[in-house]
Structure 1
Amino acid sequence: MSLLNLALQNVSLQRNSMDVNFEYIVKPASSLKKLRDLSERQPNVKTALEESLEPTLSLLKHRFSKLKLHNRNVVVHDAATFEEIKNLSDVLDLFKDTEDSCSVIECNEKNAPKKLKDFIDKHCRARQYSFQIKKCTAQCWYCTLNPKRLPGDNPLHWLPDPTKGPDGTYQSLEDLMDTETTDKDCPGLSLKGTTTDNDKKHKGVLIGGKVRSFIICCLCGKRRVVYSKERLSRLQITDIEEVQDNLLYTCGSSLFPEGHRCYDNVVVTEGLECATEMETTYYAGITTKFLPVCFFCGDIEIDSTSQTVQDLKKNYSIVRPICATCLSRGI
């Protein structure tokens, strides 16, 4: 992200004006979600918006393509077209159970077909900065239809995780290839964050009695608490929605950039990492109550019926919510 930010230095962006009727229609759409919903209902508005944004997108693509990292140009891809998304959806429907009528792409994780879950367990690896899919050597139904293209004596390997050596520095890709690694040394996965100057400055606000809302990290998906001395105004709520819709918030960053009207009034705890557990103030329920989520990973599908959870509730006055996955891992 630091490299990409260089391309945005001293740049002011604004889309072209549309027909006055289209401008009137889109004016109430104060967030990207509302704009997408409006475009779905009115295809002519979607076409007008695409034409209006084309010069801005072309400028951004040109600026980013000028960047280099290790003497290699940054490659900028166009967004997936509707036809490409439809083709992907058709491929995923191969994993549907025979009795399912809805598309796999519309299912959530809990209701995903068993065939798809088995495929992900055997062929996929999710990490903080990557998601890998690898064909297997077993005679599964998918890899039988789509076998690997490399010769039999050239095995497929997972892309190794960043791993530190005995001297504390990161090892090279060549040294780690064909070895089993974990993401414990991945930057940003430290379990304990560092208290920042802003956290010290807002110490009296970062408490359960000042909880107003939450923002979801665009990397890890955890909900991070939003604090304010006063109840949020409609304008402040809209500003938070824009940050969320534009995927601008990540754990450890400020909610708004310095100079923003809400920078000092609406804040989050900045001394957090993506691996940090949920904030206990999320569950305080003093000013507002949120949907219970797993304390360890933030999953909204919590396990409240298992015998282990019931036993804990008998022995302790406070038992944080936990999902079945974290429970099975012994967390």
Structure 2
Amino acid sequence: QWACFISADDKHKVPIGESVPVSTGVRNRRSLSTQNNDLNASDHDFTKLSLTPSVIFFVSIPSNISGGFYNGQVFVSFKDTVFEPSSAIRHATEFQDAIHKMYTPQASPPILCLYTDGGPDHRCTYGSVQIALISLFLSGNYDMLIAVRTAPHHSWTNPAERIMSILNLGLQNVAIMRNTMSDESEALFDKADTLDEIRDKANKNSNLEMELRDCIKDVQSLLHSRSERLVLKDQYFKCYNAASEYDINGLFQSMSKVDPLLTRNDTTQAQLTRHNELVSFMKTHCHERAYSFQIKKCQDVSCNICTPIRLPQTVFDSLHFLPDPVPALDNPDHYTSFQAVYGKQTSEEFRPSLQLNQANAEPAPKSVFASGKIRDYIMCCDCGKRRCVYSDKALSQDEIQDFKQSLDTYDYSCGAPLFPDDHYLAELLFVRVKISCDTPMEILYYSSRKSGNSDICYHCGTDSDFVDPPDSIRTKYKIIYPLCQRCQDKGKEFNARMEVKVNGSNSKRRKTR
């Protein structure tokens, strides 16, 4: 009655053929064809353009916990991966648009619950995600907003994941190809290999961007028409268009209530901490955890941001931020029940991911993990830290090109391998798997001579707002790794190595303030 529960997720990219139709990549089933004629499609590994299917699943909340959560209305969109990339503010804008389609403005529930995977566009500790959620909270006039993401490698718990198997039915036995562009645009497009190169050329040539958008519209229309014939529990799927820049700016405009000087480019924590009004709002209205971000109206009569609550007063008074899991006193192997800790002050000290699991061995030989064998860097899609990519031998130009294209296809997160087991590069390129998103930067990163290894915080990987180490540390250690202001505020310490010898004593590594 009072809450709207949305589960959202992005499906794997659908490749678009350039001169010949290319399979969508979904395993096909038997289909009808003319006699003595084979149904064939080209391989999908070497395409530049693709579409990203996005799912917004309005879950019909059951009346009791034993009921099913796989019932409700599904919205699907096929976004242009080049010019409509997934971002926190785009998702928030699309959530708002879908809510307007589901409810009339007067009937939208006052509590909004979001459940997503842990990609960079949903990571609750990212400043860009927090700003997007606050914008959605203010624009929709919600009494409370609860955004929760899955833990790394646990996206299977997201209800929207089950929608993907139904969506596959609409993508089976389909091969797609874009329309041709003008000779000038085709020549420019042929010289671009990666998404970044395509965007760079489109920024310099507006006709290329316009023609690239137009040449895939027929493909998007085809996939929309097929998706709208899919059904979940007697409810047909509905399709929506990706949010435009105008719509995104309209949603972000609600942030002017908090801080009129804030811009869409202010996304890092270092930038946001300079906005005192925003910091004050987050301290009094928000609750941040590694896997959740929650916002609630304050009911302070002096607050000029919050509007009157829409919930009955008794219901609003019973609302509390979600608690952290706490082990039971009588059985530490089990957690205390939700009812016992709801409404009480808890902390993240018992979060399982804070304890690094060292059980699995590295899949690569130890000799490959050396600073001289670092071939590239890759960003974790969950925590944003830069991880080292190792190879025993230097890569050929073809292998480098295949690796760059794979970065546009696969998402990497800390502790996971780079490629599927059947990818030939899985035997050539390696990353450490005995790590998690809570693991600091690799020491070898700072000693690597590979271009691109700029100074970044040892604990979180940010590249700005560093703290100068005190003289007591400078004079004692030869190597001191960077520390940002935000990590220091959280109690993190400088990590230093190679203590200066004094009276013949030398310690290799120390942690010190």
TM over 0.5: yes
Counterpart in the other structure of 2:339: 174
The match for 1:327 is 488
Unmatched runs of 5 consecutive residues or more in structure 2: 1-154, 493-513
Q: Contact between 1:15 and 1:55, CA under 8 Å: does it hold in 2? A: no
Pick closer, same or farther for the CA change 1:287–1:300 going to 2, 3 Å: closer
- Equivalent residue for 2:156? 2
Match of 2:322 in 1: 159
Name the structure 1 match of 2:280: 118
Is the CA contact (8 Å cut-off) linking 2:376 and 2:450 kept in structure 1?
A: no
**Matching residue's letter, 1:44:** E
Q: 1:106 aligned to 247, 265, 284, which one?
A: 265
Q: Given the alignment, which residue of 309, 317, 342 partners 1:148?
A: 309
Confirm or deny: 8 A CA contact 2:364 2:430 kept in the other structure: no
- Check if 1:131 corresponds to 2:263: no
Distance 2:410 2:293 in 1: 19
Which residue number in structure 2 is paired with residue 229 of structure 1?
392
Larger-Rg structure: 2
Is residue 96–residue 104 contact of structure 1 (8 Å, CA) maintained in 2? no
Who is 2:416 aligned against?
Answer: 253
Would the alpha carbon gap of residues 75 and 207 (structure 1) be closer, same or farther in structure 2, given more than 3 Å must change? farther
Q: Do the aligned partners of 2:380 and 2:412 also contact (CA within 8 Å) in 1?
A: yes
**1:17 Cα deviation from its structure 2 partner:** 2.6
Deviation for aligned residue 1:281: 1.1
**Aligned-residue offset at 1:183:** 3.2
2:474 partner SS = helix
> Within 2, Cα distance between the matches of 1:2 and 1:148?
35
Is 1:48 matched with 2:215? yes
Aligned to 2:85: none
Shift in alpha-carbon separation, 1:252–1:36, aligned structure 2, 3 A = same
Counterpart residue number, 1:211: 374
Moved more, 19-28 or 88-97: 19-28
Cα RMSD after superposing both structures: 3.6
Residues 29 and 35, structure 1, Cα contact 8 Å, conserved in 2: yes
Shift of 1:39: 5.8
Of the candidates 348, 353, 356, which is equivalent to residue 183 of structure 1?
348
TM-score, normalised via structure 2 length: 0.53
Q: Deviation at 1:239? A: 4.3
**Cα separation, 2, equivalents of 1:60 and 1:193:** 41
Determine which structure has the larger helix proportion and give its number.
1
- How many equivalent residue pairs? 315
Cα distance in 2 between the residues matched to 1:277 and 1:262: 26
Shift of 1:269: 0.4
Letter in 1 for 2:426: Y
User: Which residue in the other structure is 1:314 paired with?
Assistant: 475
Residue 177 of structure 2 corresponds to which residue in structure 1? 16
RCO higher in structure (CA 8 A, sep ≥6): 2
| 3-state SS, counterpart of residue 253 of structure 2 | helix
Q: Is structure 2 residue 349 aligned with structure 1 residue 193? A: no
Deviations 1:55-88 (A, max 9, x none): 457778988x86x9xxxxx999875444431212
Instruction: State the shift of 1:226 in Å.
Output: 0.9
What is the aligned counterpart of 1:301 among 432, 440, 464? 464
d(CA) in 1 for partners of 2:349 and 2:253?
36
**How far, CA to CA, are the matches of 2:487 and 2:445 in structure 1?**
19
Of 448, 453, 456, 1:290 maps to 453
Question: 1:293, 1:302 within 8 Å by CA — same for their partners in 2?
Answer: no
Q: Name the stretch that deviates more: 209-218 or 298-307.
A: 298-307
Separation in 1 of the partners of 2:186 and 2:398? 21
> Amino acid of the residue matched to residue 263 of structure 1?
A
Between 5-14 and 82-91, report the one with greater CA deviation: 5-14
After TM superposition, give the deviation of residue 142 of structure 1 in Å: 1.0
Identity of aligned residues (%): 27
1:145-170 deviation line (CA, Å, top 9, x unaligned): x2332334433421233444343234
Question: 1:133 Cα deviation (Å)?
Answer: 2.1
Amino acid at match of 1:229: D
CA distance, structure 1, for counterparts of residue 156 and residue 287 of structure 2: 26
The answer for unaligned runs of 5 or more in structure 1 is 69-73
Conserved? CA contact 2:181–2:211, under 8 Å: no
Name the one with the larger strand percent.
2
1:231-265 Cα deviation digits (max 9, x unpaired): 34444444444454456111111111111121111
Corresponding residue for 1:71?
none
Q: 1:81 to 1:277 in 2, by over 3 A?
A: same
Instruction: Decide whether aligned partners of structure 1 residues 250 and 280 sit closer, same or farther in structure 2, where only a CA change above 3 A counts.
Output: same
Q: Using the TM superposition, name which of 289-298 and 16-25 deviates more.
A: 16-25
Change (3 A) 1:152 1:294: same
The residue identity in structure 2 corresponding to 1:125 is H
Matches within 5 A, 1:25-40: 26-36=189-199
- Distance 1:200-1:16 versus aligned 2 partners, 3 A rule: closer
